[in-house]
Amino acid sequence: MARVSSLLSFCFTLFIFFHGYTAQKFPNECQLDQLNALEPTHVLKSEAGRIEIWDHQAPQLRCSGVSFARYIIEAKGLYLPAFYNTAKLSFVAKGHGLMGRVIPGCAETYQDSPLFQPGRGGQYDEGQGQEQGQRQSQSFRDMHQKVEQIRTGDTIATSPGVAQWFYNDGQQPLVIVAVFDLASDQNQLDRNPRPFYLAGNNPEGQVWLQGREQNPQNHIISGFAPEIIAQAWKIDLDLAHKIQKPNEKHGNIVRVEGQFSAIRPPLRGQRPQEEDEERRGGEGNGLEETICSARVTENLDDPSNADVYKPQLGYISTLNSYDLPILRFLRLSALRGSIRQNAMVLPQWNANANAVLYVTEGEAQVQVVNDNGDRVFDGQISQGQLLSIPQGFAVVKRATSQRFEWVEFKTNANAQINTLAGRTSVVRGLPLEVVSNGFGISLEEARRVKFNTLETTLTHSSGPISQGRPRVAYA
């Protein structure tokens, strides 16, 4: 009988469990009592690098509707072309390299010079499957879509379904972090990030997809019958088989042996002749104005372009759809900050966006307050950590190392912030009587609250700040 009643209690527990599960999980995804500085939960190792993935089912990322990943590409590593079901905004956290995207229907505007010569470059006239063994591979005249040099601070917008690759041509690891907007209309699948590989593989499978076992993941070309591939590419069946066979050990970042000779422009700042051409204007072929040439990259690390700049405190740069029009479609924007020890970013909240903050260097003390007035985060965040700051949640940051640098991705093409203190803050906009009655203080005290702080965004902070585990009001 005891067993029966324990069974009954088990069933009842089950009942409670499910009731709680369904009643809470769906409607209260942002009922967050506590935030955490998040670290990657999955690592996909490849021959020449690794991909680190944050669990997008973690409550705070669930609430924000985004997913996050970090790509570490070693020297001479090539991140093979892949596309996603979501809009993506990437930031080059370290290193430099090459980046290419293939935009559907656009022409191959990068051509090897000397241009195709009648005698040598006749690829267009060749029949199917002919052998060209007499040529050295280096003598091919290639043509492909735009290749860009990327370096630390570059922020790169990528549309869903657009294949992108990266190559590390430096000596240091190339580190790229990226946010994927799962909640926007651009993603028409479910709320999971789904990479589609055009080459390479992922022997561990899509481990971030919960609820079932994952099979190893292969590139999509391998999924077709070899005859289809042979006929589509007009190659022989042996080559099709070779292409389809995955090399389990390589993963999706492979090491390039020998030279990587993709056609590339000179680095920015090294091409006065190009600017000359631009200045001449009027003579272009209009290509600059098509979707094929839409600018997708902007560097956020140049303090001379900063939106807020105080030599003694640091700088903040933002990137929104006014700077980079493609962001309007992607519903994403970014903010780059760099502050010195003891500088404080005045408390603020995101009015119309969720944000995720990734630390690229140094440490800071951060406090986050939720809708209930509870301090849901109070601690240090340091290089490589991620913190989600949902819409409306108030946040303050204070550098605790020599320099604190971070990037924030926001789920709105024109994210707006409101500050709690400073010259453009909410208290400045309120009449004195509202401040005084609101806080139960005198008009004179209200005047100090309103007018004492003259800065807008950054101020100096000093002395120890009381800190502890997240605190609930009244506790």
Residues in 109-138 that interact with a second copy by CB under 8 A: 123-124, 126, 128-129, 131-133, 135, 137-138
Contact positions with a second copy (CB under 8 A) in 65-104:
65, 78, 80-81, 83-85, 100, 102-104
CA angle 166, 94, 329 (to 5 degrees): 60
Give the orientation angle of helix 226-233 with respect to helix 237-244, to 10 degrees: 120
Residue among 233 and 309 whose Cβ is closer to a second copy: 233
Sole window of 5-13, 148-156, 172-180, 281-289 interacting with a second copy (rule: CB under 8 A): 5-13
Q: How far is the CB of 105 from a second copy (least distance, A)?
A: 5
Q: Report in angstroms the alpha-carbon separations of 177 from 180, 262, 308, 384.
A: 10, 24, 24, 10
Question: In the structure encoding, which two tokens stand for residue 38, read together?
Answer: 């998040």
Contact pattern for a second copy over residues 291 through 330, marking x by CB under 8 A: ----------------------------------------
Assess 403 for contact with a second copy (CB under 8 A): no
Judged by CB under 8 A, the residue of 11, 43, 267, 287 near a second copy is 11
The smaller minimum CB distance to a second copy, of residues 155 and 186, is found at 186
State the nearest-atom distance from the C-beta of 288 to a second copy, in Å: 18
CB of 96 to a second copy, least distance (A): 17
The answer to whether 315 and 306 are in contact (CB under 8 A) is yes
Q: Tell which positions 455-474 bind a second copy, by CB under 8 A.
A: 459, 461-467, 471-474
Q: How far is the CA of 305 from the CAs of 185, 308, 314, 315, 316, in angstroms?
A: 32, 9, 13, 10, 9
Name which of residues 360 to 389 contact a second copy (CB under 8 A): 367, 369-375, 378
Give the residue, chosen from 42, 45, 151, 250, that forms a contact with a second copy under the rule CB under 8 A.
250
Binding flag, residue 341, a second copy (CB under 8 A): no
Stretch that binds a second copy, among 67-75, 148-156, 269-277, 433-441 (CB under 8 A): 433-441
Contacts of 12 (CB under 8 A, 6+ apart): none
Torsion angle in degrees (nearest 10) through CA of 16, 18, 19, 25: 130
Which residues have a Cβ under 8 Å from the Cβ of 216 and sit 6 or more positions away? 201, 202, 203, 204, 205, 246, 248
Q: Least distance from C-beta 174 to a second copy, angstroms?
A: 15
Helices (H), 158-246: 226-233, 237-244
Residues 176-195 that bind a second copy (CB under 8 A): 183-192, 194-195
Interaction between residue 335 and a second copy (CB under 8 A) = no
The reply on whether position 270 binds a second copy by CB under 8 A is no
Helix (H) or strand (E) holding 29: none
Q: Return the H-helix or E-strand segment holding 188.
A: none
In whole angstroms, what is the distance from residue 365 CA to residue 359 CA? 12
Binding residues for a second copy restricted to 202-231, rule: CB under 8 A: 205-206, 209-212, 214-229, 231
d(CA 465, CA 461): 9
Number of residues that bind a second copy (CB under 8 A): 191
212 versus 280: smaller Cβ distance to a second copy: 212
Q: How far is the CB of 382 from a second copy (least distance, A)?
A: 19
Contact 64, 390 (CB under 8 A): yes
Minimum separation from the CB atom of position 306 to a second copy (A): 16
**Please, which residue, 123 or 277, has the CB nearer to a second copy?**
123
How far apart are CB 78 and a second copy at their closest, in Å? Answer: 5
Residues 6+ apart with CB under 8 A from 82: 163, 164, 165, 195, 196, 197, 198, 200, 252
